[in-house]
Amino acid sequence: MNRDTIHTQHAPAAVGPYSQAIRMGNLVFTSGQIALDPATGKLVEGDVVAQTDQVMSNLQAVLAAASTDLSRVVKTTVFLQNMGDFPVFNQAYAKYFPNNPPARSTVEVAKLPLGGLVEIECVALVE
């Protein structure tokens, strides 16, 4: 089974020894995405909703580079800097999975890179 590294300039570049995603067989595993604007390399300003929108845009770009999309996501893991943001995060997140949302784990963490409010990673099917 081939192990392919996925990279796109339409999502933030990896800033350490990791890949944006790895495709193995018919699955793609993304690294966690925070709300970095790939054009500027800076964290987008705003609340958890604005950051969630950027995170999902980054994930969409990585998934597209792996020849898949959000409709094929089977699992996400969400890291929130503040679980108090859970209700508004859910509203923002739900826009991206209007039907048959993937399985999901959500945890609160003490800190995220660059002071981010949300980080999301996912597993998706690839045909």
- Give tens-digit pLDDT for 17-59: 999 999 999 999 999 999 999 999 999 999 999 999 999 999 9
| pLDDT at res. 16 | 86
pTM: 0.96
* Pairing outcome for strands 27-30 and 118-125: antiparallel
Least-confidence region, from 12-16, 80-84, 111-115: 12-16
Tell whether the model's pLDDT for residue 127 goes beyond 90. Answer: no
> Over the Cα atoms of the chain, what is R_g?
14
DSSP string for 59-91:
HHHHHHHTT--GGGEEEEEEEES-GGGHHHHHH
- 98 Cβ contact list (under 8 Å, min separation 6): none
Token output for 54: 């950027």
| pLDDT at res. 66 | 97
DSSP one-letter code for 105: E
Rounded Cα distance between 6 and 23, Å, is 7
**Cβ count within 10 A of residue 96:** 19
Least-confidence region, from 12-21, 86-95, 104-113: 12-21
Tell whether the model's pLDDT for residue 1 goes beyond 80. Answer: no
| pLDDT at res. 15 | 80
Tell whether the model's pLDDT for residue 114 goes beyond 90. Answer: yes
- Residue range 3-125 in CATH 3.40.50.1000: no
